[in-house]
Amino acid sequence: MEIIPAIDIIDGKCVRLTQGDYAQKTIYHADPAEVAKRFEAAGLKRLHLVDLDGAKAGRVQHWKVLESVTAATKMVVDFGGGIKTEEEVRRVFESGAAIATVGSIAVKNEAMLLDWFSVYGVDRFMIGADVKGEMIAVGGWLEETQTDVFRFIERYMRHGVRQLFCTDVSKDGRMEGPSIDLYTRIIARFPELSLIASGGVSKMDDLHALDAIGCSGAIVGKAIYEDVISLDELQPFLT
């Protein structure tokens, strides 16, 4: 299982939210590129970079942060938060990201996303399934939909998607453990899916549990920033 550290951006700074609430944010570092370099030095190969201001505004806000992170490291960066146009997709790749992360557009404009797949290739995109009570939430988790996560995944797997990350918003930032039951059911229903777990990781036992049920990756944020999980402890997953 691959460990993928997360950097969430508000006002150009590295932050974490609790349960997706913009009013409950903690600032951890003023320079996301420096944080990324620390992750790379520890042996981590991939980075989940999220423009939370962009997710809220509906258009990407922090191009310079993306450019600084990709210039400072050789990490495989997936970047998302407010991507709504093909011009933005092109700029994401031109700015050095390997993968464009999409959420709201996958729910609200499937036809447009399929066009992007045809232009850039489905493997250049990672769909985020953010859930509240198993229903998809969009717009920086501020808007709940009536779309069931299982139907959502099934729809995009028909279009060739084989990698997806799922965040239980109720768990995110609370460090009370990930949604093992939900992920177990997703993997059982879609065994060919590479599922990346996101939200709630609070200790090494959580990572071992996610590995045991078959997750292909785990996004870890607050537990690292709060030094509950040290970068040294992650080494068994990096070899």
- Residues carrying an active site annotation: 8, 130
**Angle, CA of 165, 169 and 172, to the nearest 5°:** 85
Do 218 and 210 touch, CB atoms closer than 8 A? yes
Nearest to 54 by CA among 42, 66, 40: 66
Query: What string of DSSP letters covers 154-217?
Result: HHHHTTT--EEEEEETTTTTT-S---HHHHHHHHHH-TTSEEEEES---SHHHHHHHHHHT-SE
Q: Using CA atoms, how far apart are residues 222 and 225, in angstroms rounded to an integer? A: 5
Residue 144: strand pairing partners: 137
DSSP 30: S
Q: What are phi and psi of 23, to 5 degrees?
A: -80, -15
Q: Using CA atoms, how far apart are residues 80 and 140, in angstroms rounded to an integer? A: 10
Stretch (H or E) spanning 122: none
Helix (H, G, I), strand (E, B) or coil at 145: strand
